[in-house]
């Protein structure tokens, strides 16, 4: 435990020194990676941990982003208030997400969440476009900080705090119990635990993270649009980040998010046109099919080989 904490601290120190060495352009990429990492961690807390696969995670992120954006842009609510309210709204949305999970799981649950996202996409445009900005969304949302370096620190601080909190949480017995749900839900209730309450807890944590991430994301971007948020390509990026990194770990989604973001960005100078998305998708596909457990597993295997067959415990990080 202390050794791993040290590793976290080292990670933080390296990242905090980063603006000294890399260009603002790179920092901007990292900012997006940080937000993607937050979303992927949020996804993973429901889907990786409890095994309830969500195909509609942008539903939660979108509630967070839209609530804070509407409150601050339309009603002049200060960001310090609009973000907590957005998180609250997202958690209420998370309860909606949770209702189907009481009765269905697996594929059907995934499809309901997809339907939730689609519904949200349509409703945002139809209901009160004077508030949501309809199809065009809202532009000119108040930003919290400006400039690459401050925003890097903000996004990294947020991401790091969430990651550390989730990591600490997953090391408690509740983390063990949630992992157990993904393996065998009946046996968890057969161990005298209220799985409904545990799942609700996981959904609330996930919604909290999604709401927090979504709200800060909106205030970082300065603009939101339904087409960018409630989009199957966004779902794709979140899920693939979590899986390619390594599901049901905390570090995994972070690695995955960084990998996916940098991959797409570093393809830009080489392939400026639409070939970029093709190559990007193909790499994701091949990596996923080759190693569904993700980069964490690859690293673990490498570590095992290098360490002469010692069984690594990287899986618990």
* From 71, 77, 255, 257, residue interacting with other proteins (rule: CB under 8 A): 255
Rule CB under 8 A: say whether 2 interacts with other proteins: no
Rule CB under 8 A: say whether 265 interacts with other proteins: yes
Rule CB under 8 A: say whether 74 interacts with other proteins: no
**Sole window of 61-69, 77-85, 86-94, 133-141 interacting with other proteins (rule: CB under 8 A):** 133-141
Q: Shortest Cβ distance from residue 87 to other proteins (Å)? A: 19
* From 61, 159, 240, 260, residue interacting with other proteins (rule: CB under 8 A): 240
**Binding footprint of other proteins, residue count (CB under 8 A):** 113
**What Rg, from alpha-carbon coordinates, does the chain have?**
19
Residue 132's closest CA among 49, 202, 66? 66
Token pair for 48: 């990786």
**Sole window of 59-67, 77-85, 183-191, 207-215 interacting with other proteins (rule: CB under 8 A):** 183-191
**Sole window of 57-65, 70-78, 107-115, 152-160 interacting with other proteins (rule: CB under 8 A):** 107-115
C-beta of residue 171 within 8 angstroms of C-beta of residue 110: no
Rule CB under 8 A: say whether 275 interacts with other proteins: yes
**Sole window of 74-82, 153-161, 181-189, 207-215 interacting with other proteins (rule: CB under 8 A):** 181-189
Give exposure, 12-21, as e/b (b: 16+ Cβ within 10 Å): eeebeebbee
Contacts of 238 (CB under 8 A, 6+ apart): 36, 39, 40, 43, 57, 58
Q: Give the CA distances from residue 160 to residues 26, 103, 154, 156, 295, in Å, rounded to whole numbers and listed in that order.
A: 18, 34, 10, 6, 20
């Amino acid at each position: 435990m202390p050794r791993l904490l040290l590793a976290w601290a080292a990670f933080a120190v390296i990242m905090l020194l980063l603006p000294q060495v890399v260009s603002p352009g790179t920092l901007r990429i990292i900012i997006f990676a940080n937000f993607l990492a937050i979303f992927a961690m949020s996804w993973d807390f429901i889907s990786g941990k409890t095994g309830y696969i969500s195909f509609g995670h942008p539903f939660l992120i979108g509630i967070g982003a839209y609530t804070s954006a509407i409150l601050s842009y339309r009603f002049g609510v200060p960001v310090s208030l609009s973000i907590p309210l957005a998180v609250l709204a997202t958690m209420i949305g998370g309860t909606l997400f949770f209702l189907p999970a009481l009765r269905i799981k697996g594929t059907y649950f995934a499809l309901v969440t997809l339907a939730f996202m689609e519904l949200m996409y349509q409703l945002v445009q139809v209901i009160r476009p004077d508030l949501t900005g309809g199809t065009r969304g809202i532009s000119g949302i108040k930003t919290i900080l400006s400039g690459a370096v401050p925003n890097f620190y903000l996004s990294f601080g947020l991401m790091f705090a969430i990651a550390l909190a989730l990591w600490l949480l997953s090391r408690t017995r509740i983390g063990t119990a949630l992992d157990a749900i993904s393996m065998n839900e009946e046996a968890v209730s057969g161990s005298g635990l209220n799985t409904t309450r545990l799942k609700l807890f996981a959904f609330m944590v996930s919604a909290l993270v999604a709401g927090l991430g979504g709200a800060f994301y909106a205030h970082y971007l300065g603009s939101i649009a339904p087409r960018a948020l409630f989009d199957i390509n966004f779902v794709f990026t979140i899920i693939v980040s979590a899986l390619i990194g390594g599901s049901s770990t905390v570090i995994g989604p972070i690695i995955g998010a960084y990998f996916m973001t940098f991959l797409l960005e570093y393809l830009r100078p080489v392939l400026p046109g639409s070939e970029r998305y093709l190559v990007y998708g193909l790499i994701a596909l091949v990596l996923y099919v080759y190693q569904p457990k993700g980069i964490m597993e690859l690293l673990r295997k490498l570590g095992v080989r290098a360490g002469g067959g010692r069984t690594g415990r990287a899986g618990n990080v």
